[in-house]
Structure 1
Amino acid sequence: MAFAPQPAGYRRWAVSLMLALFALSFLDRQIINILAEPIRHELRLADWQIGIMTGLAFAVLYTIAGLPIARLADRANRPRIIGTAVIAWSLFTAASGFASNFALLLAARVGVGIGEAGLTPPATSLIMDYSPPEKRASTLAHYHMGVPLGSLLGLALGGMLFDLVGWRHAFLVVGLPGLLLGGLALLLLREPRANAATPASSSPTTLVDATRTLWRIRSYRLFVLGTAFQAFVSYGQAPFIASYFFRMHGAELASLGRVIGLERAGFLGLALGLASGISGLFGVWLGGQLADRISRGDVRHYGTVPAVAALLTVPTFIAAILMPNAGAALLFLTIPCLFNSMWFGPVHTTQQGVAPAHVRATATAILLLVLNLIGLGLGPLTVGILSDWFSSGWGFGAARGVQAALVAASFVGLVPAWLFWSARRSIPDEITR
């Protein structure tokens, strides 16, 4: 079903609110990455447990909840779903601060995953209905700037809050804003379906029908798999980058932090937040702008942008992790962070553009299901197992072990580059403008 685009002023305001919600969701996810090392020490965890806590526990319930929520979003009031979800995950984030053992913290992170499953499928579907076709890649890219923005805030605030009040109170502080923002979404976001005709009865009525319809679309299938393997690398590495710097460059971090009056956790959180956040924001914006601009003459370039960006991420990340100097490594990380964020606009525009309008929320949910099971579910766990293996089995030690695991995981980035490039052949026949 097609809807008249919302007025430009309202669209900018509404998408900015959803951007803030998406940023908050990634703040809640990323804060645990900067806090992983102190949590590991206090609760006496192994790296594989950090991998489960930051990845698999979140991903499994996120994906299980995501599909029924998305099916509901294809029919029901999407702003109500979004607002309720934001309030729910914010409460679970605050509850993480009360966990006294691994099982309780795991349960809280599961709750965060269930809540966050209710944001992106209905939000992406709303943005497509709000926006004219020629603005969709850049508008969706604007929404997905919440990933680097939330990562910046989660890492920077998490590190500084840990230095000030400890990791438990840090969870409490970042859980509170969601209650306000969730309320705003409930009150102020518009549902275009309110004044639209009922969808045609020929629309798929079951999840199986919708999934079958979507999976037959070659471009959609390849983009889903490409995004999943892209996430395997980025989500797999994320929980261990701070641990790597703490283990490999702890003394240097403390020295650098003293220069600006911060402890080492506060300095590292701020440095990683700026490295990933600022360059990531620019990368998301650049990817959306490039995709909208160069695809006007040839829609295959919706695949070109993420393919080239994924390829360039591999050598630049490895170079940063192998640098012997912490300051230089943190600075150089801005380059792979930029490339690693350029896929959001073109990928989400394509997967929504090739999906029938009546299953767009489900299309996003299926993408997120595969992305999170492969990327968030298996990525951190795999890197954690590799880290333990290299550290103990190969005798590398904790610092060199996590470094080797991060480098090894980088090579998986060649897979999404190939998948995105392969999708270029079928995009012209399947996308609607």
Structure 2
Amino acid sequence: MSTLTIIYAINIADRFVLSTLLEPIKADFHLSDSALGFLTGVSLAIFYVTAGLPLGVLADRANRKKMVAISVGIWSVMTILCGLSVTYWMMLFMRIGVGIGEAGATPPSHSLLSDKFGPRSRAFALSVFGLGASVGAYLGASGAGYLNDHYGWRQALIIFGVAGLPFAALCWLIREPKRGQDDAGSNNRREGATLRDTIGFMLADRALVHIMAGATIVTFWGWGILWWTPAFLTRSFALTTGQAGSLLGPMHGIGGGIVMLLTIAIMAWLKRGPQWWVPSFVAWTTMIGAVPSMALFLVSDIRVATAMLWIFVPVIYIYIGPTSALVQNRFPPEMRAKGCAILLFVANIANLAIAPQLIGALSDVVGAHVAQPSESLRYVLLGCSFTGIWAAYHYWMAARAMKDLGQTVDSEQPSLRNLA
């Protein structure tokens, strides 16, 4: 578990490096917010969309540890090449390459962990795995900000890329467990379940549809807003890139880490109760987190904004482990990697494609119609903060669907017959 968690941290760190470096990249390449959003977000999402699902299908059949190792190597090399890029188009191409690597790592990682831990322990295990997100975001925010201020944004990307290469080799030491070894009925698995079978299974499960919808919107709300937060702090509060990174880094590493540890403890307790407690917990915490996310963009005092960020940033980590476990528990073993790929597909469209591009484009439009164009990002992000309530609604509906079916943590993956 530790190796996969570290690799996940590197994945998130390489993603947050770009978020932290938005302003210096924009200045160096003379970009609009729309072009910047496409370069740093949409370009990464292109291969999450086109390659993520086929790679998920492959992960349900191929050697998973080898897939993870190759993926880490690809995205690390491409991150290095992003730092060496001398034109917008060259960096765009390399950024797409980062997406190829990152699309192939998480589905096999989730599948591996789900075979190492039984249904009762998966929410706990995947919440531990989710700690990598807070560690990676901390490194990507604080580390990239520091490196940019002292050495430049190109050197920051190169250093982060080089740091991932040793872990590509380390991943080969992971033991490959038998698929579905801890699941009831694993001896009667359907071999070779297709992506179409997996989608049909998902659509027949009302709770699973709401989980996917909730995860999609919560990533737009949380990670989509945070994608532009360093730029917002730079423009609205006159912070440098390094100062913005230093401010946000501890919120991810310390605040997010503490919240993830609390989530792990809560998941360990909730496993004794019905399964619908898990999405209900995510719904309530998301609703609570939506309040400071709105307040953040209404205040003009950096001290108040910092206090709101210290609540908002840690809260967005809560959904990661529980959502991943819910998806893994509801799909049968032969569909788990594909189920994870579908989750990443819908979530990353919201987080990496829609959020960077939509927020950037709206910022350009709003900036042309307000007295202070530098404040356009504030107004757009304020509007986006209300989507946290929408995300909470879907998790509540998932909990209601599970409750109506009377499913507990002991209930294995529902069959299509039971869902009809």
Q: Secondary structure at the match of 2:13?
A: helix
Q: 404-413 or 274-283, which moves further after superposition?
A: 274-283
Whether 1:237 aligns to 2:225 is yes
2:263 aligns with 287
2:235 aligns with 247
1:171 aligns with 157
Give the drift of 1:338. Answer: 2.1
1:355 aligns with 331
Whether 1:422 aligns to 2:397 is yes
| Contact 1:275–1:331 (Cα < 8 Å) also in 2 | no
Give the letter aligned to residue 134 of structure 1: R
1:61 aligns with 47
Q: 362-371 or 125-134, which moves further after superposition?
A: 125-134
Whether 1:115 aligns to 2:101 is yes
Give the letter aligned to residue 190 of structure 1: R
| Contact 1:69–1:117 (Cα < 8 Å) also in 2 | yes
Q: Could you give the per-residue CA deviations for residues 52-96 of structure 1, whole angstroms, max 9, x where no partner exists? A: 122211112112211111111111111000001000000000000
Q: Secondary structure at the match of 2:148?
A: helix
**Structure 1's 130 and 246: CA in aligned 2 closer, same or farther, altered over 3 A?**
same
Whether 1:277 aligns to 2:253 is yes
Aligned residue among 315, 327, 330 for 1:339: 315
Tell me, which stretches of 5 or more residues in structure 2 are unaligned?
413-420
1:309 aligns with 285
| Contact 2:134–2:256 (Cα < 8 Å) also in 1 | yes
CA distance in 2, matches of 1:198, 1:282: 36
Give the drift of 1:194. Answer: 8.8
Give the letter aligned to residue 380 of structure 2: A
1:379 aligns with 355
CA distance in 2, matches of 1:195, 1:159: 43
| Contact 1:138–1:285 (Cα < 8 Å) also in 2 | no
| Contact 1:90–1:176 (Cα < 8 Å) also in 2 | yes
Q: Could you give the per-residue CA deviations for residues 118-173 of structure 1, whole angstroms, max 9, x where no partner exists? A: 11101011111111333211110010111121111001011110111111111110
Give the drift of 1:107. Answer: 1.1
Q: Could you give the per-residue CA deviations for residues 316-338 of structure 1, whole angstroms, max 9, x where no partner exists? A: 11222333222442243110112
**Structure 1's 321 and 275: CA in aligned 2 closer, same or farther, altered over 3 A?**
farther
Give the drift of 1:398. Answer: 3.2
1:326 aligns with 302
Normalised to the residue count of structure 1, the TM-score between the two structures is 0.89
Give the letter aligned to residue 361 of structure 1: A
Q: 188-197 or 27-36, which moves further after superposition?
A: 188-197
CA distance in 2, matches of 1:277, 1:398: 32
Give the letter aligned to residue 323 of structure 1: V
Give the letter aligned to residue 121 of structure 2: K
| Contact 1:210–1:362 (Cα < 8 Å) also in 2 | yes
2:174 aligns with 189
| Contact 1:159–1:268 (Cα < 8 Å) also in 2 | yes
Q: Secondary structure at the match of 1:307?
A: helix
User: What count of residue pairs does the alignment treat as equivalent?
Assistant: 405
2:415 aligns with none
| 1:26-175 alignment, distance < 5 Å | 26-175=12-161
CA distance in 2, matches of 1:405, 1:424: 31
2:418 aligns with none
CA distance in 2, matches of 1:232, 1:318: 14
CA distance in 2, matches of 1:396, 1:226: 36
Q: 423-432 or 271-280, which moves further after superposition?
A: 423-432
Q: Secondary structure at the match of 1:134?
A: coil
CA distance in 2, matches of 1:269, 1:112: 22
Give the drift of 1:205. Answer: 3.2
CA distance in 2, matches of 1:125, 1:194: 8
Give the letter aligned to residue 112 of structure 1: V
| Contact 1:287–1:344 (Cα < 8 Å) also in 2 | no
Give the drift of 1:247. Answer: 1.1
Q: 292-301 or 133-142, which moves further after superposition?
A: 292-301
CA distance in 1, matches of 2:268, 2:145: 37
Give the drift of 1:206. Answer: 2.1
**Structure 1's 233 and 198: CA in aligned 2 closer, same or farther, altered over 3 A?**
closer
| 1:209-248 alignment, distance < 5 Å | 209-248=197-236
Give the letter aligned to residue 174 of structure 1: F
Q: Secondary structure at the match of 2:198?
A: helix
| Contact 2:20–2:145 (Cα < 8 Å) also in 1 | yes
| Contact 1:291–1:305 (Cα < 8 Å) also in 2 | no
**Structure 1's 277 and 331: CA in aligned 2 closer, same or farther, altered over 3 A?**
farther
CA distance in 1, matches of 2:4, 2:129: 7
Give the letter aligned to residue 420 of structure 1: Y
| Contact 2:180–2:186 (Cα < 8 Å) also in 1 | no
Whether 1:398 aligns to 2:373 is yes
Q: Could you give the per-residue CA deviations for residues 400-423 of structure 1, whole angstroms, max 9, x where no partner exists? A: 111111111101111110000001
Give the drift of 1:381. Answer: 1.1
Normalised to the residue count of structure 2, the TM-score between the two structures is 0.92
Q: Could you give the per-residue CA deviations for residues 175-223 of structure 1, whole angstroms, max 9, x where no partner exists? A: 012110010001x101113998997573453221222122212221110
Give the letter aligned to residue 247 of structure 2: A
| Contact 1:71–1:207 (Cα < 8 Å) also in 2 | yes
| Contact 1:85–1:118 (Cα < 8 Å) also in 2 | yes
